[in-house]
């Protein structure tokens, strides 16, 4: 199995690159570009659909022959909801950085008759989940109920200092609807302040997979199967961008039975 912790490759250009082939799975792809003003990133989508997420900074975007103007307003991912842009399969896109820009490229198999569209902040309401030291704040970008994509599910989460997230432990690795959906998942992690770290564990019931990772600013983690809780440390907030995809665009998870009492 590939290493589940993917460190950034440098500080400029395409610093993260996850493909179905490199991850050893079928659906999810993820790239992270760090750009200087005036630099351009462009691509054809081919058979895949794409969601671009402005992690920080501003950039002028075109997609599918449409000019979407300058998108992005926050200067770091802890400053509220993002700008995003969806591009369907058999299309193209281009982003020109107006400021220093961190651009995430989330991808999965495409299909259907979806059209390119901007997803501005506030498209979906901010949600808060959990209680006590399990509180986290959620910005949905492409949730399952928006019917705007073939397979992509994209969401951002902010976990405050000292809290847990993606917890109580849950998994979504069986194609067994309505009980559970099969979804591969990537986490793109950021830490505030950036010198901090957090922890993530990926494990299965039989412990045939059981990997605990210290994640630092800019790391990507892979969740091919199993449970995948995160924990911050005191003094450092955790941001992550989740990309999920599978055979059906449904997020239906299964809680670890031994931890379900925490939901009471």
CB neighbourhood size of 251 (10 A): 17
Instruction: Please report, for the chain, how many H helices and E strands are present, in that order.
Output: 1, 25
Cβ neighbours of residue 229 closer than 8 Å, sequence gap 6 or more: 164, 165, 166, 167, 168, 169, 200, 201
Distance CA 105, CA 32 (A): 6
Mean pLDDT of 203-227: 98
CA distance 7 to 194: 14
Query: Largest alpha-carbon pair distance within the chain?
Result: 52
Q: What is the pLDDT of residues 133-191, one digit of tens each?
A: 999 999 999 999 988 899 999 999 999 999 999 999 999 999 999 999 999 999 999 99
Please give the Cα distance from 195 to 136 (Å, whole number): 21
Supply the pLDDT for residue 2. 77
Helix (H, G, I), strand (E, B) or coil at 38: coil
Encode pLDDT of 43-91 as tens digits. Answer: 999 999 999 999 999 999 999 999 999 999 999 999 999 999 999 999 9
Strands, DSSP E only, in 38-125? Answer: 40-44, 48-56, 59-63, 66-71, 84-87, 92-97, 101-109, 117-119
Q: Which residues contact 161 (CB under 8 A, 6 or more apart)?
A: 232, 233, 234, 235, 236, 237
| Span 94-124, pLDDT tens digits | 999 999 999 999 999 999 999 999 999 999 9
Query: Taking the CB of residue 79, how many other CB atoms lie within 10 A of it?
Result: 11
- pLDDT at residue number 263: 87
Q: What would the pLDDT profile of 242-257 be if each residue is shown by its tens digit?
A: 999 999 999 999 999 9
């Amino acid at each position: 199995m590939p290493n589940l912790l993917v460190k950034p490759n440098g500080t400029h250009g395409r610093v993260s690159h996850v493909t179905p082939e490199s991850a050893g799975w079928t659906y999810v792809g993820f790239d992270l570009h760090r750009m200087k003003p005036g630099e351009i990133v462009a691509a054809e989508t081919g058979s895949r659909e794409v969601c671009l997420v402005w992690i920080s900074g501003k950039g002028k975007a075109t997609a599918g022959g449409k000019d979407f103007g300058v998108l992005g307003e926050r200067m770091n991912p802890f400053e509220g909801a993002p700008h995003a842009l969806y591009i369907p399969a058999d299309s193209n896109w281009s982003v020109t950085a107006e400021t220093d820009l961190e651009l995430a490229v989330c991808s999965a198999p495409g299909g259907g008759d979806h059209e390119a569209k901007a997803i501005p902040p506030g498209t979906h309401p901010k949600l808060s989940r959990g209680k006590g030291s399990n509180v986290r704040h959620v910005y949905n970008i492409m949730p399952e109920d928006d019917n705007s994509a073939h397979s992509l599910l994209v969401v951002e989460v902010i976990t405050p200092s000292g809290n847990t997230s993606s917890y109580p432990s849950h998994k979504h690795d069986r194609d067994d609807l309505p009980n559970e959906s099969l979804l591969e998942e990537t986490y793109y992690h950021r830490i505030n302040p950036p010198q901090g770290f957090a922890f993530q564990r990926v494990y299965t019931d039989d412990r045939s997979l059981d990997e605990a990772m210290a994640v630092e600013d800019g790391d990507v983690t892979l969740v091919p199967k199993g449970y995948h809780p995160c924990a911050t440390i005191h003094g450092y907030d955790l941001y992550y961008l989740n990309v999920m995809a599978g055979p059906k665009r449904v997020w239906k998870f299964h809680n670890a039975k031994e931890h379900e009492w925490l939901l009471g």
